[in-house]
Amino acid sequence: MIIYPELKGRVAIVTGASLGIGAAIARAFGSQGCSVAVNYRRHAPEAESLTSAIVSAGGRAKAYACDVADTAQVQQMVDSVRADFGGLDILVNNAGINRDGVTWKMTEEQWDAVIDTNLKGCFNFVRAVAPLFREKKSGRVVNMTSINGMRGKFGQLNYSASKAGIIGLTKTLARELGASNVNVNAVAPGLIETDMVATMPEEAKAKSMAETVLGRLGTPDDVAAVVLFLCSNGARHITGEVIKVDGGQYI
């Protein structure tokens, strides 16, 4: 992994960080010398294990239980992170769920659960950190979207809508915070080897893999590497962009 010396000592929040892509991003920040706030909602043992691993490797990390869809809990977590680590420099909105189903069978509960976690959760965190980043005239925000938010996906009306909303949120926030020297970008993974993908029917997984130019699954570390770059000085002049990490699946 590339080392970015400028990230040492920075404080980063990673939401939905107990498993999969979020855990890989948290580990990557830890390896760069960042202080990492590991957000989780249900997977406490995994979150604690991750923070222990980061600390054992010489980093700083702490797990925070917080439902990203709960505005009050989000503000409390942001305040706690600042108090625990002495500041905040980076926000990665990774928390997300899926509740798949075709439109005519989708329930209101399925719709609300996905929109509340994926889109409202992202809004809750960016609203909480925006005043801080504006005041200090610096900051990095990376929002996790999906190629299915760019193209749509059969059976994922709620998920695709939430991820498309994150793209609009990202571009608008980039405009609003640009004058404060805050970079805001989105990363759009394709088929990545996570627990969510592991539960896909084999036929659907094979079909998605066949769409990729490279003919393979991506890994959480592939996504984490792009997130690190977007938070580095090498990406200082990149904002409002959506970077696909999909092995050519969207082409």
Task: Say how many CA atoms lie within 13 Å of 227 toward its Cβ.
Answer: 32
Q: How far is CA 164 from CA 62, 77, 115, in A?
A: 31, 26, 11
Q: Identify whether the C-beta of residue 20 lies closer than 8 Å to the C-beta of residue 43.
A: no
Higher pLDDT, 198 or 225: 225
Kindly report the CATH number assigned to the domain that includes residue 140.
3.40.50.720
pLDDT classification of 207: cutoffs 50, 70, 90: confident
Tell me the three state secondary structure of residue 147.
coil
pLDDT number for residue 143: 99
The total domain count for the chain is: 1
127, two tokens:
């609203």
State the average pLDDT over residues 87-112: 97
pLDDT number for residue 212: 94
Is residue 250 annotated as part of the catalytic site, yes or no? no
pLDDT number for residue 209: 85
Residue 18's identity, in one-letter code, is S
**What is the rounded average pLDDT for all residues in the chain?**
96
Q: Could you give the CA distance from residue 41 to residue 69 in angstroms, rounded to a whole number?
A: 10
Helices 71-85 & 121-136 angle (0-180, nearest 10) = 40
Task: Look at residue 188 and tell me whether its pLDDT is greater than 90.
Answer: yes
Task: Look at residue 206 and tell me whether its pLDDT is greater than 90.
Answer: no
Task: Look at residue 205 and tell me whether its pLDDT is greater than 90.
Answer: no
pLDDT in tens, 109-168: 999 999 999 999 999 999 999 999 999 999 999 999 999 999 999 999 999 999 999 999
pLDDT number for residue 195: 78
Q: Answer whether residue 251 is part of any domain.
A: no
Q: Answer whether residue 29 is part of any domain.
A: yes
Tally Cβ neighbours within 10 Å of residue 35.
25
Tell me the three state secondary structure of residue 183.
strand
What residues pair up with 65 in beta bridges, in sequence order? Answer: 40
Q: Answer whether residue 237 is part of any domain.
A: yes
Q: Answer whether residue 162 is part of any domain.
A: yes
Q: Could you give the CA distance from residue 89 to residue 187 in angstroms, rounded to a whole number?
A: 18
Q: Of 4, 40, 159, 250, which is the active-site residue?
A: 159
Task: Look at residue 197 and tell me whether its pLDDT is greater than 80.
Answer: no
pLDDT number for residue 27: 98
State the average pLDDT over residues 186-204: 86
Q: Answer whether residue 175 is part of any domain.
A: yes
Q: How far is CA 134 from CA 11, 85, 224, in A?
A: 16, 19, 26
3-state helix, strand, coil in the chain (%, to 5): 50, 15, 30
Q: Answer whether residue 2 is part of any domain.
A: no
State the average pLDDT over residues 9-15: 98
pLDDT classification of 199: cutoffs 50, 70, 90: confident
Q: Could you give the maximum distance between any two Cα atoms of the chain, in Å?
A: 51
Q: Answer whether residue 114 is part of any domain.
A: yes
Sheet of 35-40, strands arranged across: 60-65, 35-40, 11-14, 90-93, 139-144, 182-189, 242-245
State the average pLDDT over residues 34-39: 98
Residue 56's identity, in one-letter code, is S
The boundaries of the domain holding residue 55 are 8-245
State the average pLDDT over residues 16-45: 97
